[in-house]
């Protein structure tokens, strides 16, 4: 059986670079807006196709948020949580995880056979700029 080689296209390289240089997780539309500055002819379908390939290749991580939809960030980041401004719709990252001890305890002492694989915390509020 032949393995299909995956090319590192200009589009994929730029999308990966945008996610790597961003200080936080991004929506596909935010990635599209930034990519359009580099490749004027790029379209949203190309963004989605390349995002899916980058997730499959474990270069990006897909995050599902109830209000913002799907977000993408570079894979392999240290533990962190997200702060979402309900006024300007900006996403901020807070490094570290104060829940680590609790999560480890849940992993060690599974309740009713539940196996903890990961966790996500979303904090909603008003950012300093909007609070002024």
pLDDT in tens, 28-50: 999 999 999 999 999 999 999 99
The string of pLDDT tens digits covering residues 78-132 is 777 888 899 998 888 887 777 777 777 777 776 677 777 777 777 889 999 999 8
Alpha-carbon radius of gyration of the chain: 17
DSSP state of 26: B
Q: Per residue in 7-23, pLDDT tens?
A: 778 999 999 999 999 97
pTM of the predicted protein model: 0.74
**Same domain, yes or no: 54 and 88:** no
Looking at the structure, tell me whether residues 95 and 127 fall in a common domain: yes
**What ranges in the chain are assigned the alpha helix state H?**
10-21, 28-38, 44-56, 100-108, 128-131
CA distances in angstroms from 111 to 70, 106, 107, 115, 122, listed in the order given: 29, 8, 9, 8, 24
- 61 domain-assigned: yes
69 inside domain: yes
The structural domain count of the chain equals 2
């Amino acid at each position: 059986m032949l393995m299909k080689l995956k090319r590192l296209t200009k589009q994929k390289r730029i999308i990966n670079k945008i996610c790597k240089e961003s200080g936080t997780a991004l929506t596909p539309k935010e990635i599209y807006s930034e990519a359009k500055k580099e490749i004027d002819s790029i379209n949203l379908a190309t963004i989605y196709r390349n995002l899916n390939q980058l997730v499959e290749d474990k270069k990006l991580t897909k995050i599902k948020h109830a209000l913002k939809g799907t977000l993408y960030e570079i894979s392999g980041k240290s533990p962190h949580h997200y702060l979402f401004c309900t006024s300007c719709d900006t996403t901020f990252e807070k490094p570290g995880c104060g829940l680590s001890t609790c999560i480890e305890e849940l992993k060690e002492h599974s309740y009713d056979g539940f196996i903890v694989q990961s966790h996500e915390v979303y904090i909603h509020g008003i950012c300093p700029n909007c609070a002024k």
